[in-house]
Structures are given as C-alpha cells and as structure tokens.
Amino acid sequence: MTTVDTPTRSAGRIAANWLRKPVLATGVLLLIMYSVGVVRYKGFDDTQVVLNIFIDNAFLLVVAVGMTFVILTGGIDLSVGAVVALTTMITATLLEKGINPALVVLVALAVGGIIGLGMGAIIHFFDIQPFIATLAGMFLARGTCYVISTDSIPITNETWNTIASDKIRFGGFHIGWSVVISGVVVIAAAYVLAYTRLGRNIYALGGNQQSAMLMGLPVGRTKIAVYTISGLCSALGGILLTFYTPSGYGLNALGMELDAIAAVVIGGTVLTGGSGFVLGTVLGVGVLGLIQSLITFQGTLSSWWTKIFIGTLLFVFIVLQRTVTRKKTARRTP
C-alpha cells in the first residue's frame, strides 16, 4: 500500500526540518568546540571534564529549562536570577534556625512558585508586558534578599552539606546529586512539552496567541502556568546553588537571567516563541560551560572573555534564527 503525502503533511515535515536546524547547529558547534579543546589542551579529553561542565552548571540548567517554557510562549522572565538569590537566602536562614531540611526545600519551592504565579497572573489579567512584570519581580525578590540580611549566611547544616558533597561514582568518574536532579528536571520538562496538553498549548500560544484564543485554548491558564514553572525552576536552581556554594547571599546569581536566556537562544529556541526544544537548552548550557572550560585550560585569558564569546554566539544564533524563520515563511508562501 502506497502512502500519499497530503500538502498539509508535507508542509508539516518541511516546517519540522527547518525548526530543528538551530538545534543541530548548536550540536555541531558543541562538537567543534570540544574537538578544538581535545586537540589543543592535554587532559581535555578526560570524560570527567565533560561531567564537570554539568556539575558546575546544574543550577543554571534547571533555571534555563524554566526559561525555555517562558520563551516558547513568546515571553521573558527577568526575575530568575533574583529568585535564585532569594531562595539561597531563605534556605540558609531557615537551616540556620534549625528547620528540617525537607521542610526548607518545600518552603523555598513554594516561594519561587508563588512569585512566578503572581507575575503570570499580572501579565495575563492586567495585560502587562512580561518584560515589565518580571522586572518588577526581579526588584521585589532582590530587595527581599537584603531585608533578610545584607551579609552572606553560611550553611552549616550537616545533612545539607552531606548531600551537597556526596559523590555518585561510576567507572572511575563522579557526579553530584545536583546533576541527577537537573537531569530529572530536563526529562520531565521534555515529556511535558512533547506529550501533554500543556506542552501543546505552550507551542500554540507561542506560535500565534490570537489563533490559540480562537481555537478555544486556555491562553490565560497557560501563561500563568509557564511563569509558575519558571519560578519553581528558579527556586530549585537556588537550592542547587546552595549545594555548589553552601551559603545564602543577596548578590548570588547576578546576571543569571541573561545566562539563562543566552543558553535558551543558543540552544535554538526562537525568542518570538513557538519553536524550540529542551534538548537544545541542554546543548546551550553545554556550550556556555565548554567556553568556561576552554578559557580555564587556556590559562592566559580573563574570565570576562566568556561574556565576549557568549555575546558573539548570541548574535550568530539570532541571525540564524531569523534566516530560518524567513526561509520557512517563504516556503509556506504559494
């Protein structure tokens, strides 16, 4: 039996192929960068070097996953770095007071979720631009950090520090629990976007909000949901940051919102929404971490070169996204 392609099915395949190109470009870039490191620097081919990239950036990966949900709807969340910092402050303060670590985690996640929920509700019900609403959320969360304390609060809780320092060893290599947790978040996020109604609504909303409304999709609920998810991911990222640096401080995660946006965009998610994959975000975080590793192995370059390279890559991927979008539109035009 011969299968005949309908015009709609053919157009869908063409669109899917074009949408995957930025992700493939990120994967190729990652391989090229790693190959350069292996050729130039002794010991760079050690598997532990790759694992260290995710150990050092597990908290950023979780935050970037939440940002992916937001950007897929065509929105933006500038509050994530401040929410991360606030979470570290709340965590350190409660642990200092002797509160059970499990309860501390629940409180921290609840605070992040409530902040995200509030921003999403304001954006939807008052039709406020996400840039403004999340900027207000950023100032609110960062300011609350300094209300709690202007100093760094060390975490001395034995249970917390044991979990933070515990290593999962296999084949002569090791990872921390932060990597495991971030991996679970990535898998859960990928499943939600690919196989659930919420995921389909997110892509539809990012593709065209007016069309989504005409189709009867729950636009308001979806908007509120993605900002709540972003808030939860930011709070979880803050918890993972306290595993990495056992303290709470109001100046933690300065500029992390920009790193998260950079990772998402370099990973192929289109800033206007409707197109992108969690796998691309993982690759984007990998690119940022690999840049840091290359500069560390080089030894003669300032860490500020990381920002220069990231800025250059952002320009390149924004141009690539624009090119892909134009070609996709041209193919749809009869």
Could you read off the pLDDT of 101-138 as tens digits, one per residue? 999 999 999 999 999 999 999 999 999 999 999 999 99
Q: Classify residue 3: in a domain, yes or no.
A: no
Q: Quick check: is 9 in a domain?
A: no
Select the more confidently predicted residue: 311 or 2.
Answer: 311
C-alpha span between 178 and 169 (Å, rounded): 14
State yes or no: pLDDT of 331 exceeds 60.
Answer: no
Q: Could you tell me the CATH number of the domain that includes residue 265?
A: 1.10.3470
Domain membership of residue 154 (yes or no) is: yes
pLDDT at 324: 63
In a domain, residue 4? The reply is: no
Q: At 25, give phi and psi (nearest 5°).
A: -60, -40
Q: What is the mean pLDDT of residues 257-265?
A: 95
3-class DSSP string for 104-135: HHHHHHHHHHHHHHHHHHHHHHCCCCHHHHHH
Domain that holds residue 125: 21-328
Residue 258 domain flag:
yes
Q: Is residue 5 part of a domain?
A: no
At residue 179, what is the residue type? V
User: 214 pLDDT band (50/70/90 cuts)?
Assistant: very high
Mean pLDDT value across residues 8-33 = 67
The two structure tokens encoding residue 151: 């100093």
105, part of any domain: yes
What is the C-alpha to C-alpha distance for residues 14 and 256, in angstroms, rounded to an integer?
Answer: 35
Q: Which positions ≥6 away from 220 have C-beta within 8 Å? A: 124, 125
The pLDDT of residue 327 is above 70: no
Q: Indicate the pLDDT class of residue 252, thresholds 50, 70 and 90.
A: very high
Handedness of CA 115, 238, 297, 43 (dihedral sign): negative
Burial class of 236 by CB neighbour count within 10 A (0 to 12, 13 to 18, 19+): buried
Confidence of residue 88 (pLDDT cuts 50, 70, 90): very high
Q: How many domains does the chain have?
A: 1
Residue 1 inside a domain? The answer is: no
Confidence of residue 10 (pLDDT cuts 50, 70, 90): very low
